[in-house]
């Protein structure tokens, strides 16, 4: 067993031992309560790491779109605002917490700490910690062509091709890793030329719209920055498949950064809220971001 997993095991044993000694009084945690909390954490680590890919789209974020009426006149299909998104951000260092609610069992988890480092469009790394003790619970590294995700609780590793169809089918939202990577770098996923319709709002932002037989896709852009304010996908019946909004905007090194990101998945059945506490933009990254999955861990490979 690795030193990392052994440390996590010690923390878990000590936590459960304390729970056994605590009387089952009102307002005090029982052994079952703590076991349930740990189980929720374990089962959500993969989803947290994948949703963090959406979170790190913060360099292209601004305030969430308002409910003000859209001007009746549409503008041309020129996509210059879309193509300029995220161009000023080369590197990012992020610290914050993530909270989640929903899912099949309606579980909730609040304040899970994480750090993320993003280097251009080439690579990124995410480390997720335990709320208690600060031990690393999960870690992900990805490039355009490969990724590795390690869950230290389950002693399992997932790695391979981020564009694998099998991986896309396993994701909890209607985006591929490549599309998530685009959002991560502050850009609208895919070829922006597909957005044939656009409308100027009273505040000067532009709402881009793309329709197909499978549904509709929206991107709301603040053209003054330019920055991405909202990205949304709906199915053919109008149900929300994915909605990402960005608020609490602060300027860091001359670049607007959203310190709050809300993600809604699958017709609001699942939601996640990301709160950033510290962001550094365009600093030199010299440390190694990649890592090796422990050889003893169970592996799932996506090709």
Within a 13 Å sphere around the CA of 58, how many CA atoms are in the beta-carbon half? Answer: 36
pLDDT tens sequence across 57-69: 444 433 333 333 3
For residue 297, the 8-state DSSP code is: S
Residue percentage of the chain with pLDDT more than 90? 27
Residue 175 Cα to chain centre, angstroms: 12
Q: What is the CATH number of domain 3-302?
A: 2.50.20.10
What is the model's pTM? Answer: 0.72
Q: Judge whether residue 208 has pLDDT over 50.
A: yes
Question: What is the per-residue burial (b if ≥16 Cβ within 10 Å, else e) of 84-112?
Answer: bbbebbbbbebebbbebebbeeebebeeb
Whole-number Å distance between alpha carbons of 242 and 218 = 10
Whole-number Å distance between alpha carbons of 138 and 154 = 10
pLDDT tens sequence across 58-111: 444 333 333 333 332 333 334 578 887 877 888 989 999 988 887 655 667 788
Instruction: Give the residue ranges of DSSP H helices in the chain.
Output: 3-21, 31-55, 80-83, 165-170, 177-184
Looking at residue 59, its pLDDT comes to 43
Whole-number Å distance between alpha carbons of 208 and 218 = 6
Within a 13 Å sphere around the CA of 29, how many CA atoms are in the beta-carbon half? Answer: 14
The residues spanned by each domain of the chain are 3-302
Residue 108: closest CA among 180, 48, 19: 48
Instruction: Give the residue ranges of DSSP H helices in 123-256.
Output: 165-170, 177-184
């Amino acid at each position: 067993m690795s030193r990392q997993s052994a440390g996590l095991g010690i923390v878990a044993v000590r936590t459960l031992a304390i729970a056994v000694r605590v009387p089952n009084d009102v307002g005090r945690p029982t052994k079952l309560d703590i076991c349930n909390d740990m189980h929720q954490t374990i089962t959500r680590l993969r989803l947290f790491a994948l949703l963090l890919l959406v979170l790190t789209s913060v360099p292209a974020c601004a305030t969430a779109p308002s409910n003000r009426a859209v001007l009746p006149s549409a503008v041309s299909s020129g996509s210059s605002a879309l193509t300029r998104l995220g161009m000023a951000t080369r590197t990012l260092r992020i610290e914050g917490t993530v909270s989640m609610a929903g899912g099949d069992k309606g579980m909730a988890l609040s304040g899970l700490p994480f750090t993320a480092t993003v280097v251009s469009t080439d690579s990124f790394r995410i480390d997720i910690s335990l709320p208690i003790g600060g031990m690393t619970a999960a870690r992900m590294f990805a490039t355009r062509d490969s990724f590795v995700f390690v869950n230290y609780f389950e002693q399992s590793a997932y790695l391979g091709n981020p564009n694998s169809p099998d991986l896309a089918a396993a994701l909890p939202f209607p985006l591929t890793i490549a599309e998530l990577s685009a959002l991560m770098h502050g850009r609208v996923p895919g070829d922006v030329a597909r957005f044939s319709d656009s409308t100027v709002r009273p505040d000067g932002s532009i709402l881009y719209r793309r329709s197909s037989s499978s549904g509709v896709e929206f991107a709301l852009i603040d053209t003054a920055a330019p920055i991405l304010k909202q990205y949304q996908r709906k199915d053919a019946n109008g149900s929300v498949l994915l909605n990402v909004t960005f608020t609490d905007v602060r300027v860091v090194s001359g670049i607007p950064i959203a310190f709050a990101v809300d993600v809604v998945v699958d017709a609001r059945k699942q939601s996640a809220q990301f709160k950033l506490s510290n962001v550094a933009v365009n600093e030199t990254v010299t440390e190694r971001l990649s890592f090796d999955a422990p050889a003893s861990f169970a592996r799932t490979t996506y090709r």
